[in-house]
Amino acid sequence: MKTATALQVPLITLVGPPNSGKTTLFNLLSGKNYKTVNYPGSTVEYYTSRILSKYNINAELLDSPGIISVVPESIDEKISVDSLYSHPKLGVPDLLIITIDSCQLSRHLLLPKQLISSGFNVIIVLTMTDILAKRGLKISVNKLSNALNCDVVAINGRSKQGVENLIRSINSNLERIKVSDKKNIIPYSLIKNKKNLVDTFKEIEEILNDIYESVKVDERIKLNSANTELKILQVNNIDNGFTPDEATLKIDRVLLHRFWGFLVFLLVMGLTFTSIFWLAQPMMNLVDELFTNLNTLVIRNFEPGWFTFLVSDGIISGTGSVLVFVPQILILFLILGLLEDSGYLARGAMLIDKPLSKIGLNGRSFVPMLSGFACAIPAMIAARTIPNRKERLFTIFIIPLMSCSARLPVYALLIAYLIPRNKPWLGGILLGSIYLFSTISSIIVAWIINKFTKKIFNTEDSSSFILELPSYRIPKLSSVISHTYNSSKQYILRAGPIIFGFSLVLWFLTFFPNLNPSVETAGITTEQIQNLERAERLEHSYASDLGKLIQPFMSPIGMDWRIGLSLISAFAAREVFVSSLALTLKVTSEDDEEQSTLLNSLRNAKIEATGEKLFTVATSIGLIVFFIFALQCLSTVAVSRKETGGWKIPLLQVFIFTSLAYIMTLITVNGLRFFGIQ
């Protein structure tokens, strides 16, 4: 079962329930120099690392997803458990380190009990001992060690106290494993004489009766002076378990309050949403500018030819369209990481679960959906926190319906075109209505799609919402930052190549076969010549052929092939629609005036066949409606493919949302015309 490479270096796997301090310990031992390994065909990811050289242990360390028990229920849980027992690439772990929250022994000891009966070599690491000490208690490491027949080490993740004991224990365990024969590991579900859950918990309670000790008097005084408000529990008062952390309960009286709690929730989420929006914008502009400048630099300094254009408009712009999303991803994961680490995110999920469950979603779908208003890409990655497979896939499915920020330039252009110049306030109202309309229609569409989830997602997980509300604590910035960094790296490495590849294909379609067009050059600037050349090239490109091919579809919605072509180009990224429209309408002007002259050319554009006005009120509103529903973003398709582990869902999304967009546009344009609005 073990691979040759794994034989040389022992494998140590970190296991633990969620919120047990597992990741903190992993960072402590690995020094954050980790890489991820993916279980083939799934989105379950693991971090691996060599243990820091200063600890002098030659072993591979594997971090596994947080679980509370090794009896899997969903497909993803099964993958987690299976690869814990025997990782497809790294083999069977030689040693397990299980992190356990000292304040929650009675719940968290279930996992080590199960893993020890499976035959694993186990070291138990007790975390959060400082919080237990504030309650005047400590755990007798020796008694617990004897009761479970494995090494037990207490560690303080913040002060790093106890790490040397853990290292000693790892070393002695690894030595013992070397000399003894390999143990026979049996999957827990196959153990014949295993106890049922109730009996296992009874055993745990018996162990617990005996292992708590009072903190020594002098230590208690020290702790008391540091925190005089905390109640000290009596040792004989613990057989019914502890009461939850007092400070947490006090905060929760407000944050989970029926009225105030929901208000705070809306406020926190509103702030999160606007900050992904506004904080990321300057950085995105910076990335955008950087690549535009690089692009111009290449075009100015090299002979025009297909290779130069491949480098400038293909490779440089393609890289740009991958990297432009990084600021939003960074900010989203930073804020979510801080909220998660503080313990608030679980409360938010609880507050919003009821309304979302009405349309087949889960409280944990909320944050990904909200992020979708900024950008669908980080939103889909954020959906990983939803444990239920069906609900996760469904959340990913409807995320493209959220009105992402890339649609803003399109809305802005069309709104500017629609409203009279002397009434700019009308624009704000119109934009607000667009967002309201898109939110309401997303809810309706989600409600309809929910009726078909069984067919679409092929899984029948029963919907469930049981979520631990962890004690509040001050978030650990360093681990949040390293997690943010890794998520962004993952995005670039995984989704990057697909987005990049699609960009190249689109470049090819919009540049060939008429690569070097001839244009009238008399009396105009080089800038204008370049723009004319671009327009000419685009007009005779394969993409334009495609645009003409869909002309029969465009006519019923009052549009022509030029809009069709811009819609196809917009697949690279929605905001490309505006620049592409400018090109096809042959706008030859300086960049800073682009919009006002573009508005003029929109006003003057006529449908070639009939000579009718192209951009009427009806068609402009129709276009807005099209953008509200259509999934025309290759990056989203690429990420959806990656996150759902197959092509089925992304293709269905493109098909359903784009045909929905078409039908809705058809209804809007012809409906408006019916009422006499051209």
Question: Using the rule CB under 8 A, is 486 a contact of other proteins?
Answer: no
* Inter-axis angle of helices 617-629 and 425-450, nearest 10: 50
Contact between 558 and other proteins by CB under 8 A: the answer reads no
The nearer residue to other proteins, 353 or 536, going by C-beta atoms, is 353
Of 82, 353, 536, 594, the residue at the interface with other proteins (CB under 8 A) is 353
CB of 354 to other proteins, least distance (A): 4
In the complex, the smallest distance separating the C-beta of residue 22 from other proteins, rounded to whole angstroms, is 17
Tokens of 674: 């019916």
Binding residues for other proteins, rule CB under 8 A, total 47
Confirm or reject binding of residue 129 to other proteins (CB under 8 A): no
Measure the CA–CA gap between 137 and 233, rounded to whole angstroms.
Answer: 8
**Positions 575 through 604 that interact with other proteins (CB under 8 A):** none
Please tell me whether residue 349 binds other proteins under the rule CB under 8 A: yes
User: Is position 249 an interface residue for other proteins (rule: CB under 8 A)?
Assistant: yes
Nearer to other proteins, 104 or 588 (CB): 104
Q: How far apart (Å, rounded) are the C-alpha atoms in residues 353 and 342?
A: 20
Taking the complex as a whole, the smallest distance from the CB of residue 265 to other proteins amounts, in Å, to: 8
Residue number, 320 or 343, with CB nearest to other proteins: 343
Q: Give least dist CB 466 to other proteins, A.
A: 5
Among 470, 496, 564, 622, binds other proteins (CB under 8 A): 470
Based on the shown chain and the rule CB under 8 A, indicate whether residue 234 belongs to the binding site for other proteins: no
- How far is C-alpha 200 from the chain's CA centre? 36
**Which of 586, 149, 574, 568 shows the shortest CA–CA distance to 400?**
574
Measure CA 649 to chain center.
Answer: 17
Interface with other proteins, residue 241, by CB under 8 A: yes
Distance CA 171, CA 165 (A): 10
Among 1, 198, 226, 522, binds other proteins (CB under 8 A): 198
Q: Which of residues 360-379 bind other proteins (CB under 8 A)?
A: 363
Which residue number, 349 or 649, has a Cβ lying nearer to other proteins? 349
CA-to-CA separations, 197 to 107, 114, 202, in angstroms, rounded: 11, 10, 9
Q: Of 115, 280, 287, 351, which lies in the binding site for other proteins, with binding defined by CB under 8 A? A: 351
| Residue 465 lies near other proteins (rule: CB under 8 A) | yes
Asked whether 74 and 387 are in contact (CB, 8 A), the reply is yes
**E strands, 131-186, where?**
137-139, 151-154
Which of 4, 178, 227, 259 touches other proteins by CB under 8 A? 259
Q: Is 213 in the site for other proteins (CB under 8 A)?
A: no
Asked if residue 268 binds other proteins (CB under 8 A), the reply is no
First vs last C-alpha separation in the chain: 71
Per CB under 8 A, the list member of 248, 441, 459, 600 interacting with other proteins is 248
Region from 68-76, 118-126, 334-342, 516-524 binding other proteins, contact rule CB under 8 A: 68-76
From candidates 116, 177, 256, 279, binder to other proteins by CB under 8 A = 256
Spatial CA neighbour of 371 closest among 407, 344, 333: 333
Least distance (Å) between residue 103 CB and other proteins: 6
Looking at 52-60, 318-326, 346-354, 568-576, which segment touches other proteins (CB under 8 A)? Answer: 346-354
Of the ranges 24-32, 64-72, 175-183, 563-571, which one interacts with other proteins (CB under 8 A)?
Answer: 64-72
Stretch of 319-327, 355-363, 597-605, 648-656 lying at the interface with other proteins (CB under 8 A): 355-363
Tokens 């890794």 sit at which residue? 486
**C-alpha distance from residue 29 to each of 15, 99, 259, 269 (Å):** 14, 13, 44, 34
CB of 245 vs other proteins, minimal distance in Å: 8
Q: In sequence order, what DSSP letters do the residues of 176-212 get, joined into one string?
A: HHHHSPPP----GGG-TTPPPHHHHHHHHHHHHTTTE
3-state secondary structure 359-391: CCCCHHHHHHHHHCCCCHHHHHHHHHHCCCHHH
Alpha helices in 231-325 (DSSP H): 246-255, 260-301, 306-309, 317-323
Spatial contact of 112 and 151, defined as CB atoms under 8 Å apart: no
The minimum distance between CB 130 and other proteins, in angstroms, equals 16
Other beta carbons less than 10 A from residue 505's beta carbon: 14
User: Please, what is the Cα angle at 455 between 453 and 457, to 5 degrees?
Assistant: 60
Distances (CA, A) of 192 to 68, 73, 186, 348, 435: 21, 19, 10, 41, 57
**Binding map of other proteins across residues 82-121, x = CB under 8 A, - = no contact:** ---------------------xx-xx--x-----------
- Give the residue, chosen from 258, 421, 451, 455, that forms a contact with other proteins under the rule CB under 8 A: 258
Binding site for other proteins (CB under 8 A): 68-69, 71, 73, 103-104, 106-107, 110, 197-198, 201-202, 240-244, 248-249, 252-253, 256-259, 261-262, 346-347, 349-351, 353-355, 357, 363, 462, 464-471
